[in-house]
Amino acid sequence: MKKLNSQNNKIFRPSYLLLILLFAISSSSWAQESDKPGDATPLNLIVTEMSFQLDGQEKNAPITFQSGTTYDLHIKNEGKILHEVQFGRDPDMSSGLAHDYKVLLFANTEVVTVINDTEIVSPGMTEVVLKPGQEVHVLFTLEEANKGEWEVACFQPGHYEAGMHAPVIVN
């Protein structure tokens, strides 16, 4: 019995946290655009060796986001090895191999990550790491200040150099 209760708590706590956060940021563009995550624009992003591919596009083709629009980005690792998904610009090459972006696209953005129906609110998402077959939903709204040219990449050692990156444009 006790075990069941503690599982219930784990499931419900993140949702409750989300409600509190929505209330707290009710003046932000995210709350104005969309009352609930269900209103978000869905996009499917397939991650594999060594590419990112949006539904209906070529591998590593540019990905465009509209500022002010709330997206539900469904990311799935269809590859055979672990991959990372990081949005940013200016990869740090100081150690020889590319290692994380110096500037992160979501540095000042509230991001909701949904894994197996559990919502995790993470201000300034750095990256998601996906084992083979794993999938997540990432919900976010970018602002006018985010407009410009960005990139999405995997920083598992050698993957960036093997071509695992794609341009990202925020309009």
21, 121 in Cβ contact below 8 A? yes
Smaller CB separation from Cu ion, 123 or 158: 158
Smaller CB separation from Cu ion, 124 or 158: 158
154, 50 in Cβ contact below 8 A? yes
Q: What six digits make up the tokens of 30?
A: 């995210």
Smaller CB separation from Cu ion, 125 or 153: 153
- The distance of closest approach from Cβ of residue 61 to Cu ion in the complex, given in angstroms and rounded to an integer, is 17
Give the angle subtended at the CA of 97 by the CAs of 93 and 99, to the nearest 5°: 65
Q: Give the DSSP letter of residue 50.
A: T
Smaller CB separation from Cu ion, 40 or 152: 152
Residue nearest to Cu ion (CB): 154
**CB count, 10 Å around CB of 170?**
19
The residue ranges that bind Cu ion (CB under 5 A) are 83, 154, 156, 159, 164
Helix (H) or strand (E) holding 135: strand 135-141
- The distance of closest approach from Cβ of residue 19 to Cu ion in the complex, given in angstroms and rounded to an integer, is 35
- The distance of closest approach from Cβ of residue 164 to Cu ion in the complex, given in angstroms and rounded to an integer, is 5
- The distance of closest approach from Cβ of residue 71 to Cu ion in the complex, given in angstroms and rounded to an integer, is 22
**CB count, 10 Å around CB of 26?**
10
